[in-house]
Amino acid sequence: MKPRLAMTALLSAGLVVLATLAGCATTSPEARLQSALALAAPAGWQASRIPASGFQLLALHPKPKPTAELAVFIEGDGFAWVDPRTPSADPTPRDPVALRMALAERLRTSAYLARPCQFDPSITEGRCRTGHWTQARYSPEIIAAMDEGVSRLKKMFDAERLVLVGYSGGGTVAALLAARRQDVSLLVTVAAVLDHQAWTRAHRISALEGSLNPMDEWARLQGLRQIHFTGSEDRIAGRAAVQAFADRFAGRPVASRDPAPVELLDVQGFNHSCCWAEQWARLSP
């Protein structure tokens, strides 16, 4: 393992610890998949495998029916690292926080979209490589696959517009997707890092080489309503991980009628994993 690759493990290693503390006992990828399906089943949700740019994306969603607005919840980086020096062989999350958030959504029709190589039984046979969930997790090919997955969900529900909600690294993905699309009415990030170059420098860890950075594309998001949630007790991301990004929009004209088109909301007592899903019905904008 190269030291530079190992250093990028800090965030995901922290997530492993948080997931363990949350009481998630399942460890095998198959058990994690079955756990996610069991979470979705009581709501009557179904699973779809979405082929996207050579990847097989897992989507969980209610029975499709036409809707004006579809909220797509994008998962975080998942179980990307076993420890700070060892990448996981499978990034399937132990605790799919974004799925639990999607199931708690009450204001609009929602669907869940996992990241490439998560919940994928054929991970060793297809396109997936370790870099897809480590250094290159926001690479152009990953973002292209997620963009295709979102488009397929939109078509499935015959939706007119989209709300993109991303948890942790899924927020980074959501911002990059919103910068590429014209059908997004609201961008929501939760415990995200929106300038990973500054973040890696601040934590003295290796840069995410090959990954796109939302901070470099902020101008393409002008005019889009955005809400960025941070937790006051988040030691992995926190307010500092999005503040500079949000500041780019200060005082700039926007198309939205909302008086605060770009909001940064710091939620007291929340950390990186708790208690976004538990309180999402109350927090959902």
Q: CB neighbours of 123 closer than 8 A, spacing ≥ 6?
A: 29, 89, 90, 117
Q: Are strands 81-83 and 46-52 parallel, antiparallel or unpaired?
A: unpaired
- Check whether 231 has a pLDDT greater than 50: yes
Quick one: CA torsion of 129, 133, 136, 139, rounded to 10 degrees? 100
At 7, is the pLDDT very low, low, confident or very high (cuts 50, 70, 90)? Answer: very low
Q: What is the pLDDT of residue 251?
A: 65
Q: CB neighbours of 210 closer than 8 A, spacing ≥ 6?
A: 131, 135, 136, 139
pLDDT digit string (tens) for 198-223? Answer: 888 887 878 888 999 999 999 999 99
Q: What is the pLDDT of residue 3?
A: 35
Percentage of the chain beyond pLDDT 90 is: 75
Token reading at 36? 């996610």
- Check whether 232 has a pLDDT greater than 60: yes
At 1, is the pLDDT very low, low, confident or very high (cuts 50, 70, 90)? Answer: very low
At 16, is the pLDDT very low, low, confident or very high (cuts 50, 70, 90)? Answer: very low
- Check whether 66 has a pLDDT greater than 80: yes
When comparing pLDDT for 236 and 177, which is higher? 177
Q: How far is CA 57 from CA 44, 52, 114, 121, 123, in A?
A: 20, 7, 6, 11, 11
Q: Helix, strand or coil for residue 221?
A: helix
Q: What is the pLDDT of residue 199?
A: 84
Q: What is the pLDDT of residue 2?
A: 37
In the DSSP assignment, the letter for residue 283 is H
At 21, is the pLDDT very low, low, confident or very high (cuts 50, 70, 90)? Answer: very low
Q: Are strands 55-61 and 109-113 parallel, antiparallel or unpaired?
A: antiparallel
pLDDT digit string (tens) for 87-100? Answer: 999 999 999 999 99
* Average pLDDT rounded to a whole number, residues 102-106: 98
- Check whether 63 has a pLDDT greater than 50: yes
pLDDT digit string (tens) for 179-198? Answer: 999 999 999 999 999 999 88
Percentage of the chain beyond pLDDT 70 is: 87
Q: What is the pLDDT of residue 260?
A: 57
Q: What is the pLDDT of residue 283?
A: 97
Q: What is the pLDDT of residue 20?
A: 39
Q: How many CA atoms lie within 13 A of 284 on its CB side?
A: 24
Contact call for residues 85 and 46 (beta carbons, < 8 A): no
- Check whether 84 has a pLDDT greater than 80: no
Token reading at 210? 């090959």
CA–CA distance, 95 with 109 (Å, rounded to integer): 22
CA–CA distance, 221 with 13 (Å, rounded to integer): 31
Contact call for residues 227 and 174 (beta carbons, < 8 A): no
- Check whether 178 has a pLDDT greater than 60: yes
In the DSSP assignment, the letter for residue 131 is G
Which residue, among 45, 55, 36, has the nearest Cα to 97 in the 3D structure? 36
Q: Which amino acid is at 45?
A: W
Contact call for residues 184 and 170 (beta carbons, < 8 A): no
CA–CA distance, 240 with 83 (Å, rounded to integer): 25
Quick one: CA torsion of 79, 18, 144, 207, rounded to 10 degrees? -90
Domains of the chain with bracketed CATH: 3-283 (3.40.50.1820)
